[in-house]
Structure 1
Amino acid sequence: MRILFSFPHALGAPGIGWTAWQQVTGLAARGHEVHVVTASLARPLPDGVTVTTSLARGRARIPHRAIGRDRAFAWHDRVAARQIASTSPDLVHVWPLAPGATARLARDRGIPVVREAPNTHTAHAYRVVAREVDRLGLTGRVPSAHSENAAHLRMEEAEWAAASAIFAPSDAVAETFLAAGFAPDRVVRHQYGYAPTSRRVSARTPRRRGLRAVFAGYGEPRKGLHHALDAWLSSSAHTDGTFTVVGRMMPAYADLLSTPLAHDSVQLAGFTNDIAGALGAADVLVLPTLEEGSALVTYEAQGVGCVPLVSTAAGALIDDGVQGLLHTPGDVAALTAQFDRLATDRDALSRMSAAALDHAPDLTWAAAAERLEAAYLEVAQPGRAASLPRPVRAHSATGEVVTDADAA
């Protein structure tokens, strides 16, 4: 297929930039002709991928804030729209944020348009985050990308309206769009992935020792670290185990959590570029997130045999009780019980760790590219998509198991 890929941020930068870069690289590896329009390029792309930058000239990058973020997004959108005539794509793939000109022009020319949804429906995300921030008494003190922004929501609504399909990387994301009134045939599942390293990995042993837990992510209310710490200190696991916090922290949020963070069993590791190392040194990954797209750390954890203990909102691709354990967002009692269980039942921990490693090949970026291709064909050529791989088994936001066929 000939694909026009619009990404109005720095492609290859940490976060969604890394995810989008992996998508482009994976599509190119599968033989697709990819034309990228991006604000700037943070890392090289494979030969054969053409690149147009909307906010860079040579090595000089123009920050979005230099001309105003909304103006920068609108400018990028116009640049991408102009590429439709010169590339004649079979399909257009757009990422947030842009006012929708590219999507509308493609639609008007009969070209399928898919809109990436790296997080839940934005209005849903705003509600969930605002509710928790208010509950914690932090309103106005913890700025976040998920703080309410009416202008950005209007941009997203314009793209959603023009898109042929919304691409959801998890059931948790898909369900929020369905709840917002999107037709089921417009919400298409795919998945993200992880990059295996050369590090030797093995399943955790059943040998009795203190449970080693790790939280890896930005310390903000949305990620639920406060629930993780409450559960940890309420469980028996903290008596001889360790809970390591990896990642930067919002200052006001860190102040709120100063007492549990100072507990003898809790270690603050700060930011690291070696997430695989941090996960490899732990028995369990703890991510009681309240709102998420499909957290890449849950893929990386399984790749090194670290057992995910995550909320159903984390977008993790696991079967409850097989590769890890799930809980409803905010259910501290359930997470406490999971800590207690795995602190005492090392055989169960070892089995889940081995199952996570067995599952890992289905979670690589190469596997994600194969499923992204299937999702494209589901939109552009439905008949061809039937024989291609579907997203792996996943759990819905309600905790209900969704089969391979249902997940699509």
Structure 2
Amino acid sequence: MRELPIHVRAIRTLITMPCEDVGVGRTCRSILAASRATGLACDLSTSAFLGARPTGLPVNSVIPRGLSRLPFGLFRRFAEPALHRRFLAALGDGDIAYLWPSVPVSVYERLARRGIPIVAESVNTRMEAAKPVLDAAYAALGLAPAHGITDDRIAEQNWRQSLCTAIFAPSPVAERSYVGTPVADRIIPASYGTWVPGSLPRRPLKTPDASVVFVFVGAVCVRKGAHRLLEAWRRPPKGAVLRLVGDIEPAIRARFADVLASDSVSSIGFTRDVAAELLRADVALLPSLEEGDPIATYEAAAHGLPVLASEAGAGRIGAETGAITLLDPDDIEAFRARLAEFAGSEELRRDRGAAARQAALGYDWSRVGPLRFTRLFEKFGWT
């Protein structure tokens, strides 16, 4: 493992699952790359690292690069124990263990016994808070819950967090989920963000016969409020189309088959070229019921799109700047009225899109990545 500067505490990061170049893996590497660029001593350990390695960030992976695109299940049995042994052996006096959700309880326990500070990333709201919200949503649809949160997983998460020195909560909704818990005083407010493009192509004015494109980026699922969006879209705004960019949950596909098959809706499943979809769109939507701090909102704002979102979907940028237009996904008539308002006014779209773009500049990874560690060090008086 490469040596790090010794004038500050080293942030030794562990993400047990393969660190992909999308989703959680991309978020993790963006935070670390931005922080390393400011001089923070940090590195990353993972089973496998997929995609380009950020300049200057030491990455320690078990699975050789040439094999990293093969199914992880082929290597998991030996890769994870080897990774954890290396990670634990590399930690020295004064180091901080920065753990992401895939890290098993046994690693937390070993770190706690050694007295090493453990800082965890709360990617989403606490499971114990999220489960009743999602249970109620599935029940309202007459469906069995498909969110995967069990009592055993809740108990395991609670035990992990009880061993932590600090926990990063990326949004106000995530923060509130810790109120009244034994670890409430360990929460450090943080946020996610995006790499904000330096410039954008100018969007042409809409011709009278051109459709207004509303885009939804992310898993098309109950958790992200897709059922409320599709219910509202049973009566779509005049001249508007809906573009779904993400895999569709089977229950959503079955329940809203008629809406999904309509001429005003198109879907492409998962894509890595989200920027292309955003540049072709006019308005972004994210009516989530539960989130951590959705990257999709930051990306849409950074591309100059007005964003209509629930409080959870608006995330930290919505709470702090007011640049995201809030909506209540459970009020279907108000939801429809808001869609029609934005479909009918190019001036409103451009106005709110410009405000979102300006706000996004404050959430570039270069700013929010290192800020979380500044707050961490200040909280504990670390240097």
TM-score interval, smaller chain: 0.7 to 0.9
Partner in structure 1 of residue 14 of structure 2: 6
Partner in structure 2 of residue 159 of structure 1: 160
Structure 2, unpaired ranges of 5+: 1-7
The whole-number CA distance in structure 1 between the counterparts of 2:348 and 2:161 is 43
Structure 1, unpaired ranges of 5+: 385-408
Does the alignment pair 1:261 with 2:268?
no
Provide TM-score, normalisation by structure 2: 0.85
CA contact (8 A) 1:77 1:99 kept: no
* Offset of residue 172 of structure 1: 0.8
* Correspondent of 2:53 among 45, 48, 53: 45
For residues 315-344 of structure 1, the C-alpha deviation after alignment (integer angstroms, 9 at most, x for no partner) is 521259952311234332332221122233
Query: Aligned to 1:213, what secondary structure does the other structure show?
Result: strand
Partner in structure 1 of residue 246 of structure 2: 247
Q: Cα distance 1:112–1:203, how it changes in 2: closer, same or farther (>3 A)?
A: farther
For residues 172-197 of structure 1, the C-alpha deviation after alignment (integer angstroms, 9 at most, x for no partner) is 11111215x14543111111111234
Partner in structure 1 of residue 220 of structure 2: 219
Q: Cα distance 1:362–1:205, how it changes in 2: closer, same or farther (>3 A)?
A: farther
For residues 217-251 of structure 1, the C-alpha deviation after alignment (integer angstroms, 9 at most, x for no partner) is 1122211112112223345x2x2111111222133
Alignment-mate amino acid for residue 98 of structure 2? H
The whole-number CA distance in structure 2 between the counterparts of 1:169 and 1:92 is 18
Partner in structure 1 of residue 304 of structure 2: 305
* Offset of residue 366 of structure 1: 1.0
Alignment-mate amino acid for residue 152 of structure 1? R
Partner in structure 2 of residue 139 of structure 1: 144
CA contact (8 A) 1:303 1:360 kept: yes
Partner in structure 2 of residue 170 of structure 1: 171
* Correspondent of 1:32 among 23, 29, 40: 40
Greater displacement, 373-382 / 301-310? 373-382
The whole-number CA distance in structure 2 between the counterparts of 1:6 and 1:324 is 33
The whole-number CA distance in structure 1 between the counterparts of 2:52 and 2:216 is 31
Query: Aligned to 2:178, what secondary structure does the other structure show?
Result: helix
Partner in structure 2 of residue 125 of structure 1: 130
CA contact (8 A) 1:169 1:315 kept: no
Aligned residues: 372
The whole-number CA distance in structure 1 between the counterparts of 2:203 and 2:371 is 27
* Correspondent of 1:82 among 82, 89, 93: 89
Partner in structure 2 of residue 374 of structure 1: 374
The percentage of aligned residue pairs carrying the same residue is: 26
Does the alignment pair 1:115 with 2:120?
yes
The alignment's C-alpha RMSD in Å is 3.0
The whole-number CA distance in structure 2 between the counterparts of 1:277 and 1:299 is 15
Q: Cα distance 1:68–1:36, how it changes in 2: closer, same or farther (>3 A)?
A: closer
Does the alignment pair 1:193 with 2:200?
no
The whole-number CA distance in structure 1 between the counterparts of 2:34 and 2:162 is 27
Alignment-mate amino acid for residue 121 of structure 1? R
The whole-number CA distance in structure 2 between the counterparts of 1:46 and 1:268 is 32
Partner in structure 1 of residue 4 of structure 2: none
* Offset of residue 123 of structure 1: 2.1
For residues 136-188 of structure 1, the C-alpha deviation after alignment (integer angstroms, 9 at most, x for no partner) is 23327x5xxx3124443343223201111110110111111215x14543111
Higher strand share: 1
Alignment-mate amino acid for residue 140 of structure 2? R
Does the alignment pair 1:336 with 2:336?
yes
Q: Cα distance 1:106–1:319, how it changes in 2: closer, same or farther (>3 A)?
A: closer
